Structure 1
Amino acid sequence: MAGEMPWPEVPIGNKNYTDAAVVIIGGGISGMCMAIDLLKRNKCRNFIVLEKSAGLGGTWNDNKYPGCCCDVLSQLYSFSFAQNPDWTREYPGQEEILAYLQRVAQEYQLLQHFRFNTEVVKARWDQEAHKWVVHVKTAPGSKEAEYHQDYEIKTDFLVSAVGQLNVPQWPEIQGIENFNGKKMHSARWDWSYDVTDKKIALVGNEIAKAAKHVTVFQRTPNWVVPRLDAPVSATWRNIYRYVPGVLARKRAAIMDFRESTYGFIESADSNMSKLFMSMSKEMLQRQLSDRPDLQGKLIPKYQLGCKRIIISDDYFPALGQDNVTLETRPIKSIEGTSVKVASDDDEIVSARDDYDLLVCATGFKTVDFMHPIQLVCKDDRHIGDVWKDGAKAYYGITVEDMPNFGMLYGPNTNLGHNSIILMIEAQSRYISGLIKPVLEARKKGKVLSLTPKKERLVEYNAQLQKELQNSTFNDPNCQSWYKNEKGIITNNWSRTVVEYQKMVQDVSFEDYVVDGSGKHEMEKGKTIHVGRVKEESTVGDKTLLIGVVSTAALLGGWVLRNSRYLRSTGMR
C-alpha cells in the first residue's frame, strides 16, 4: 500500500494501475538508467517500465549466441553510479553483463516497477488531457495475459528506451523461409539445439565454434583490431574493491584512451586511423600467415570506421580453421538445405547442399527506431510522417510534434569509439530535467507539455549532418547499419562523448514550446542544470598513491592488532 507518501513518490498500485507519471518503454540499460534517475533526481516512484521480454536486460537478455560479449572494456561498461569491481574478464561476456544488470535492479528496487511480457503496440498523444495514452498487450500464454490481454495506460511523460539493437533483421534471400533444416537469428539463439557435428551456413561475420563444418558467407570484410582480452585475477578484483581510487583511475584511463581514438572517425588520414589499419593488417598476416588465399578476402576496401570495427583476438584464426570455409560469392537463393551463390562467370552454383543449420548474423532493424510501435503525435500526425526523410531528434532525445516525449539511444547518439553507457547517462539526466516541471505542474493540479521548437531541431540536425558528411561514417565505398536507404546517417554522433555530455548538461526551456494550464508558472528563459558525469581522468596518480598508502596503513594496522590470531591460524 502507498501509505502517506506524497505523489509522485507513491508507487503505482492496484487502484492506479493504468495511470502513471512516467512510462518507460524498454527494460535494458537505458530503461534502467532512466528509472534510477527518476528515483534519484525527481524523487519519483510513480512510473512503469514496460518490457516485452520475460526479463530485464534488453539486448543482453535477448542476445545469447555463442561467444556473445561486449567490445568495451568491462570497467567502463557499467553505470558510473554502480561501478563493478568484480568483472572476471577485461571484456565482459553476455551472461556476466546480464547478472550485473540484475544486481543493479535489485539494489535500486526497480523490479516492482517492471511489467514483463508486456509489449507496447501504440501510443497516442491526447492534446486535451496533455497525456500519452499507451496501448499495451500481454504475451499470449503468460500469467499477465490471464489478467488482461491488452489495456491502456495514461501517462504525463513517455520515455523510449527501446534502443537501436532490438528487432532482428532477417536477410532478404529468395527461398529463406523454406529452408528445410534448422534456422535461427543470432539475436534469438536456440541453446536447446546441439550444433555439435552439424554443417552450418552462417550469413554474416560471426563464427559458431562447435560444428563439423561452417561456411561463413561474407558480403564485405571488417577491419579487425586486437582485443587483448584476459581474465581479471582475484587479487586485482580485491584491489578494485578495497583500495580507494584504483577502480576510478582505471575507468578514467579507459575513458581517456577510447576518447583519444575518435580521430579515426574524424578523418581517414588521421594517425589513429593509420595505426588501427596497420594493426589489423599485421594481425591478419601473422595469424593467417599460411593462408594467403584468405588474406586478400579479409582486407576491407573502405575507410576504417565506415563499418563498426571488430575487436577480437580470435576472429582471423577462426576463419583459418580446417572446418571453416569463407564464401565471398553473393547468395542468390536457398533451396531445401542448399545455399545457391553466383560464381565468377555468373552461373548459379551450390555452396553446399546439406546444411543442417542456417544462422543469420545479420543485425537489427537499426534505422526504424520505434519499430514496430505506432506513435501518433500532435494533430494525429504519425511518426512515420515525421521521420519520412530519416529519423532525427533534438540532441537525439526529443522529437518534432511529440510533446512530453524523450528518447534514450535515439537518432544520432550511437558511437563508434566509446561506451554507449556514457551517452545514455547524459541523455537520462537531460530527460529527468524535462520531466521535473511536468511533475511539478501535476502536483499543483495543472498540466504542462514540452515540445522541441522545430527551428532549433532543424538547425541542430543540419549542423550534425554537415559534420557527419565529412566523417568516415560517410565513406561511399561501403554500406552499413549507420545509414538509411537514402544514405543519411541516422544512427551515429559526430563528435566525442565529452562534447555531447557538455552539450546536454543544461536543459534550456527556450528550446521548447511550452503549453498547458501550467505554462504561465514557467519562468521565462528557465534553465535547469543537470550536470554531467566527468568520466575522463579526475583521479590523478598522486591521489591514487595516497589511496594505496592509506589502505596499506589500514591493512598494516589490522595485521599488527591481529598478529597473535594470524600466528595461531598458521597464516604467518
Structure 2
Amino acid sequence: MYCMVRPKCPDDTHLHLQLLLTSHQSSDSQATNGTHHAPETSDFVPGEFSIDEYRPMRIVVVGAGFSGIVAGIRFCQKIPNLDLTIYEKNTGVGGTWYSNKYPGAACDIPAHRYQLTFEMKTNWSSFYASGPEILQYLEGVVEKYKLGPYLKLQHQLVHARYDEPTDKWLLRIRKTVYASNGEHTEEFDDAADFLFTGVGLISRWSWPEIEGLKSFGGKMFHSADFDTGEQTWREAAESWGDKRVAVIGVGSSAIRLVPALQDKVAHLTGYVRGKTWLSMPFSGSKITELVNRSSL
C-alpha cells in the first residue's frame, strides 16, 4: 500500500489524498485485501521483550588519549545496558601527553582552546600549556567521570577482525603480566559489538632510515619516546653538562626541544633537511602581551 499526495492545481480547492493499493499474487501465497500472508515455512519468530528493554551493548575502545577518554564518557552517558572496556597500551592515560616527555614538551594551541568543551579549565598556568599540565588535566577528567573501572592499562590491541556470521569484532589483546620472576606478556581473545579506535598518529613511532644510525655508540632519544627512566628530563639533564648533542629535524618537537636543552649541554647542533615555517602568535602582539603576564 502506497500513499501519495497530489499537488494542488490552480482550480483545486483542497488537497486530494490518493490511496493506491497494490496486490500481488504468487504461486506460494495469495494476496487478500492487499495483505500478503507469510509462508507457513517461515523461520521468523517474534521476540518477547519489553519495548523499552535495551539489548546488551558490548563496546571496546582502543586508546585512552583525548579521543578514547571522550568516547568512554559519551558512551556511558548515551548508551543503556552498556558493557565497556577501554584498552590502553601505556601504564597511564593521556595518550600523546603521557608518552611525550621530551624537553620543552608543550602544546602550540592556546590552552583555553585545547580542552574539552564540556570540561573547561580556566586556571591554566600558561597561555600555552606544558605537556605535564595537559596530562594532569586529562587524568582529572578520567577521575571526575569515573572511567577507572573500564580501563585496562598495559593492554595492547594486536589484531582486530570483523566476523560477519556473528556480527562481532574479534580482537586479540596482549597484556603485561607482573610476576615474582619478572614481567612477561600474555595474549587473549575478546569480542565486541562495536570497536572504537582512538589510536593516535604517533602511537607507533619509528626511527628514521639513516645510514649508520644503528651503529651509533652514544645514547639516542626519540621525541615520541624520550625515556629517562624514573627521572624527569630536567633531572636527567643535570649530568649532561659535558655532552655534545645532535638534534635531527626541525618539526614542532625540535622547535620545543632545542631551546629547552641548549643551555644544559656543552654543545648542541641541529641538522635540518629543509626549511620550516613559523607563524606569528595568535592575535599577534596582543597574545604576546598575555604570554608575558605573570598570571592570566
Match of 1:28 among 65, 90, 114: 65
Query: Which residue matches 2:249?
Result: 204
* Cα separation, 2, equivalents of 1:181 and 1:106: 41
Residues 59 and 156 (structure 1 numbering): CA distance in 2 closer, same or farther, change over 3 Å? same
Match of 1:129 among 166, 189, 203: 166
Q: For structure 1, which runs of at least 5 residues remain unmatched after alignment?
A: 1-5, 10-19, 237-572
Alignment of 1:41 with 2:78, yes or no, is: yes
* Cα separation, 2, equivalents of 1:35 and 1:107: 12
* Cα separation, 2, equivalents of 1:44 and 1:89: 41
Q: How does 1:147-166 map to 2 (within 5 A)?
A: 149-166=186-203
Residues 129 and 162 (structure 1 numbering): CA distance in 2 closer, same or farther, change over 3 Å? same
* Cα separation, 2, equivalents of 1:42 and 1:232: 45
Q: How does 1:227-242 map to 2 (within 5 A)?
A: 227=281, 228=288, 230=291, 236=296
* Cα separation, 1, equivalents of 2:179 and 2:161: 26
* Cα separation, 2, equivalents of 1:32 and 1:177: 37
* Cα separation, 2, equivalents of 1:120 and 1:55: 16
Match of 1:176 among 206, 213, 235: 213
- RMSD after superposition: 2.5
- Mark the structure with the bigger radius of gyration: 2
**2:160 partner letter:** A
2:221 aligns to what SS in structure 1?
strand
Residues 114 and 186 (structure 1 numbering): CA distance in 2 closer, same or farther, change over 3 Å? same
**2:226 partner letter:** W
Query: Which residue matches 1:69?
Result: 106
1:46 aligns to what SS in structure 2?
strand
Q: Higher helix share goes to which structure?
A: 1
Query: Which residue matches 1:511?
Result: none
**2:209 partner letter:** E
Post-superposition shift, 1:226?
3.5
Query: Which residue matches 2:5?
Result: none
Post-superposition shift, 1:45?
4.3
**Does the CA-based 8 Å contact 1:88-1:232 persist in structure 2?**
no
2:61 aligns to what SS in structure 1?
strand
Q: Higher strand share goes to which structure?
A: 2
* Cα separation, 2, equivalents of 1:64 and 1:92: 14
- Structure 1 residues 128-159: Cα deviation after superposition (integer angstroms, max 9, x where no partner): 1110111001125479x989711111110001
* Cα separation, 2, equivalents of 1:224 and 1:103: 32
Match of 1:214 among 260, 263, 268: 268
Q: For structure 2, which runs of at least 5 residues remain unmatched after alignment?
A: 1-52, 282-287
* Cα separation, 2, equivalents of 1:88 and 1:231: 12
* Cα separation, 1, equivalents of 2:113 and 2:67: 15
TM-score (norm 2): 0.68
- Structure 1 residues 443-502: Cα deviation after superposition (integer angstroms, max 9, x where no partner): xxxxxxxxxxxxxxxxxxxxxxxxxxxxxxxxxxxxxxxxxxxxxxxxxxxxxxxxxxxx
* Cα separation, 1, equivalents of 2:143 and 2:269: 43
- Structure 1 residues 5-28: Cα deviation after superposition (integer angstroms, max 9, x where no partner): x8778xxxxxxxxxx710001110
Query: What percent identity do the matched residue pairs reach?
Result: 30
- Structure 1 residues 356-411: Cα deviation after superposition (integer angstroms, max 9, x where no partner): xxxxxxxxxxxxxxxxxxxxxxxxxxxxxxxxxxxxxxxxxxxxxxxxxxxxxxxx
**Does the CA-based 8 Å contact 1:88-1:231 persist in structure 2?**
no
Q: How does 1:446-525 map to 2 (within 5 A)?
A: none
TM-score (norm 1): 0.36
Query: Which residue matches 1:412?
Result: none
* Cα separation, 1, equivalents of 2:184 and 2:215: 37
